Amino acid sequence: MAYDYIATETQDAVAVITLNRPKALNALCAGLIAELGEALKGFDADPGIGCILITGSEKAFAAGADIKEMKDKTYQEVEAEDFITGDWEILATVRTPTVAAVSGFALGGGCEVAMMADMIVASDTAQFGQPEITIGTIPGSGGTQRLTRAVGKSLAMYMCLTGEFIDAETALRAGLVAKVVPAAELMEEALRIARKIAGMSRPVTRVCKEAVKVALETTLAEGVRFERRTFHATFAFDDRKEGMEAFAAKRKPVWTHR
Q: Give the interface with ligand CAA as residue ranges (CB under 6 A).
A: 24-25, 27, 63-68, 84, 105, 107-109, 112, 131-132, 135, 139-141, 143
Does residue 112 have an active-site annotation? yes
- Helix axes 220-233 and 202-214, enclosed angle (nearest 10): 170
Q: Which is nearer to ligand CAA, 55 or 205 (CB)?
A: 55
**Shortest distance, position 54 Cβ to ligand CAA, whole Å:** 16
> Catalytic one among 126, 132, 140, 143?
132
Does residue 65 have an active-site annotation? yes
> Catalytic one among 35, 39, 108, 112?
112
Closest by CA position to 121, among listed 56, 24, 212, 33? 56
Q: What is each CA distance from 34 to 20, 66, 79, 131, 144, in whole angstroms?
A: 13, 13, 19, 23, 23
Q: Which is nearer to ligand CAA, 30 or 215 (CB)?
A: 30
Q: Which is nearer to ligand CAA, 112 or 118 (CB)?
A: 112
Q: Are 58 and 44 in contact (CB under 8 A)?
A: no
**Shortest distance, position 97 Cβ to ligand CAA, whole Å:** 24
Question: Which string of DSSP letters, residue by residue, matches 44-91?
Answer: HT-TT--EEEEE--SSEEE--B-HHHHTT--HHHHHHHTSS-GGGGHH
**Shortest distance, position 96 Cβ to ligand CAA, whole Å:** 24
> Catalytic one among 109, 110, 142, 143?
109
Does residue 109 have an active-site annotation? yes
Helix (H, G, I), strand (E, B) or coil at 14: strand
Q: Which is nearer to ligand CAA, 18 or 230 (CB)?
A: 18
Contacts by residues 214-220 (CB-CB < 8 Å, ≥ 24 positions apart)? 216/149
Helix (H, G, I), strand (E, B) or coil at 181: strand
**Shortest distance, position 84 Cβ to ligand CAA, whole Å:** 5
Q: Which residues are known to be catalytic?
A: 65, 109, 112, 132
